[in-house]
Amino acid sequence: MDNVQKSAVRLRPEILASPVYRQGKPASAEAFKLSSNENPFPPLPGVAAAVTAELGFNRYPDATAGALRVALGQRLGVRAEEIIVGSGSVALLLQFITAAAGPGDDVVYSWRSFEAYPTLVTVAGARSVPVPNRADGGHDLPALAAAITPATRVVIVCSPNNPTGVTVTRAEFEAFMAEVPADLLVLLDEAYAEFVVDPEAVNGRDLVGRYPNLVILRTFSKAYGLAGLRVGWATGPEAILDAARATAIPLSVTGVAQAAAIASLELEEELFERVSELVSRREELLSGLGERGWNIPVSGSNFIWLATGEYTDAAAQILWDAGLVARPFSGDGVRISIGERESLTPILDAADAILNLLPALHPAKAR
Ligand X SMILES: Cc1ncc(COP(=O)(O)O)c(C=O)c1O
Q: Tell me whether residue 202 or residue 322 sits nearer to ligand X (CB atom).
A: 202
Q: Tell me whether residue 219 or residue 311 sits nearer to ligand X (CB atom).
A: 219
Which residue sits closest to ligand X, CB atoms considered?
A: 88
Closest contact distance (angstroms) between CB of 349 and ligand X is 27
Cα–Cα separations (whole angstroms), residue 310 to 9, 74, 120, 288, 316: 39, 48, 27, 23, 11
Choices 16-24, 54-62, 87-95, 262-270; region in contact with ligand X by CB under 6 A: 87-95
- Residue 255 as a binder of ligand X (CB under 6 A): the answer is no
Q: Tell me whether residue 109 or residue 311 sits nearer to ligand X (CB atom).
A: 109
- Residue 303 as a binder of ligand X (CB under 6 A): the answer is no
Q: Tell me whether residue 160 or residue 255 sits nearer to ligand X (CB atom).
A: 160
E strand or H helix that includes residue 83: strand 83-86
Q: In what order do the strands lie in the sheet with 303-306?
A: 303-306, 333-337, 327-329
C-beta atoms surrounding 290 within 10 Å = 12
Burial of 342 (0-12, 13-18, 19+ CB in 10 A): exposed
How many residues bind ligand X (CB under 6 A)? The answer is: 13
Q: Tell me whether residue 95 or residue 219 sits nearer to ligand X (CB atom).
A: 219
Cα 300 from Cα 282, distance rounded (Å): 9
- Residue 305 as a binder of ligand X (CB under 6 A): the answer is no
Q: Tell me whether residue 89 or residue 235 sits nearer to ligand X (CB atom).
A: 89
C-beta atoms surrounding 170 within 10 Å = 17
Among 43, 204, 232, 236, binds ligand X (CB under 6 A): 232
Q: Tell me whether residue 37 or residue 152 sits nearer to ligand X (CB atom).
A: 37
Among 27, 78, 184, 227, binds ligand X (CB under 6 A): 227
- Residue 159 as a binder of ligand X (CB under 6 A): the answer is no
Touching ligand X, residues 165-194 (CB under 6 A): 189, 191
- Residue 162 as a binder of ligand X (CB under 6 A): the answer is yes
Question: What are the backbone angles phi and psi of residue 62, rounded to the nearest 5°?
Answer: -65, 115
- Beta pairing partners, 33: 325
Touching ligand X, residues 120-149 (CB under 6 A): none
N residues, the chain: 367
Cα 107 from Cα 71, distance rounded (Å): 32
Q: Tell me whether residue 248 or residue 361 sits nearer to ligand X (CB atom).
A: 248
The amino acid occupying position 134 is R
Choices 86-94, 104-112, 171-179, 255-263; region in contact with ligand X by CB under 6 A: 86-94
Among 39, 122, 219, 308, binds ligand X (CB under 6 A): 219
Closest contact distance (angstroms) between CB of 233 and ligand X is 9
Burial of 110 (0-12, 13-18, 19+ CB in 10 A): buried
Long-range contacts of 316-322 (CB under 8 A, 24+ apart): 318/350, 318/353, 318/354, 318/357, 319/347, 319/350, 319/354, 320/25, 320/31, 322/346, 322/347, 322/349, 322/350
Residues near ligand X, by CB under 6 A? 37, 88-90, 114, 158, 162, 189, 191, 219, 221, 227, 232
